[in-house]
Amino acid sequence: MRKEELTFEAVDDLVSANKMGKLSSTAPSMSFAPSQIGPLIELAFESNTGRHGPLLTSAWLDPLVQRDLRSALAGTQNVWLDRLRYRGFLRTVFSPERPKDDEIRTNFLMAVRVSAEAMGFPVPTAQFLTAAVRELESNIHEHSAFSTSGVLAFQARASSFEFVAADSGRGVLATLREAPEFQSLTDHGRALHAALHEGVSRYGKAANRGNGFRDLFRGLADLNANLRFRSGDHALTISGPRPELKMARLDQKAHFQGFLASAHCHLLRASGAIH
């Protein structure tokens, strides 16, 4: 059987086929190896129940790659780190207001920072990546209306770092439409694009909120990054060195319930080449 990498494009195809009822009736002609966590987490959120979706254990996935992570995602664990603490996830069922929960959350974020530093990222960059994960967690609690469905995940490898935040909440369009100035929005793609702009949130622009994604783009200025955002029936992607919102591409996809933000970052050499 032929094996290929599980990319976001492959996830799009698998999800679409599953929604049309074609996946289960077709014998796999290949298997996809989910070595990157962004596509894996998005696939796990297909038809999920707040824990994991049916495609996480699909015969279309290679049975060995990321087996430990996939097993943990399919289980009852709310926090998981691999033996080296270079991969892990945290479900957003913990409240920072409770001391015991805050300790669990802090230990997870510490693993995020330490793993990024271990893979060659400068201390300020590792601190930024950790802050980005923390901000995405805050967004899930504040905006999703279904925070217990959320997952934060990371993976650190030589000169690269991935982080993902996803939830099965109400999604960006419904959230933005709470503000009177955005009630005319009816398109998931336009809502997704708008939500990434500075000062845009369900509180309205006058509230001076919604600056988390501005900080995200600023923090990625010295990195090469592939970004993917999903909500409703659209995906927004940005790729390349020093990613900016003006580089964004919007594409219509199968419906995604909730919101997903995925970033795969690489260090840049002084010359601008990628490690």
Residue 2 lies in a domain: yes
**Predicted pLDDT of residue 152:** 97
- Quick check: 111 and 85 in contact, CB under 8 A? yes
Instruction: Please check the confidence at residue 93 and state whether its pLDDT lies above 60.
Output: yes
Q: Mind listing the pLDDT tens digit for each residue in 122-178?
A: 999 999 999 999 999 999 999 999 999 999 999 999 989 999 999 999 999 999 999
Question: Whole-angstrom Cα distance, residue 219 to residue 242?
Answer: 9
Three-state DSSP state, 89 = strand
Question: Whole-angstrom Cα distance, residue 225 to residue 61?
Answer: 25
- Quick check: 195 and 176 in contact, CB under 8 A? yes
Q: How confident is the model at residue 272 (pLDDT cuts 50, 70, 90)?
A: very low
Instruction: Please check the confidence at residue 208 and state whether its pLDDT lies above 80.
Output: no
Q: If you average pLDDT over residues 73-100, what whole number do you get? A: 91
Question: Whole-angstrom Cα distance, residue 111 to residue 88?
Answer: 9
Residue 146 lies in a domain: no
**Predicted pLDDT of residue 270:** 44
Give the total number of structural domains in the chain.
1
Residue 14 lies in a domain: yes
Query: How many distinct helices (H) and strands (E) make up the chain?
Result: 8, 8
Average pLDDT, the chain: 90
- Quick check: 164 and 152 in contact, CB under 8 A? yes
Q: Which residue has the tokens 């919007």?
A: 250
Residue 36 lies in a domain: yes
Residue 71 lies in a domain: yes
Residue 11 lies in a domain: yes
Question: Whole-angstrom Cα distance, residue 267 to residue 275?
Answer: 6
Instruction: Please check the confidence at residue 271 and state whether its pLDDT lies above 80.
Output: no
Instruction: Please check the confidence at residue 4 and state whether its pLDDT lies above 90.
Output: yes
- Quick check: 199 and 205 in contact, CB under 8 A? yes
Q: Mind listing the pLDDT tens digit for each residue in 42-58?
A: 999 998 876 778 898 88
What φ, ψ does residue 266 adopt, rounded to 5°?
-130, 145
- Quick check: 249 and 236 in contact, CB under 8 A? yes
Q: Mind listing the pLDDT tens digit for each residue in 171-204?
A: 999 999 998 988 999 999 999 999 998 778 887 7
Residue 58 lies in a domain: yes
Residue 35 lies in a domain: yes
Pairing state of beta strands 87-91 and 79-81? antiparallel
Q: What is the DSSP string of 174-205?
A: HHHTTSGGGTT---HHHHHHHHTSTT-STT-G
Q: HSE on the CB side for 229, CA within 13 Å?
A: 20
**Residue 60 domain boundaries:** 1-76
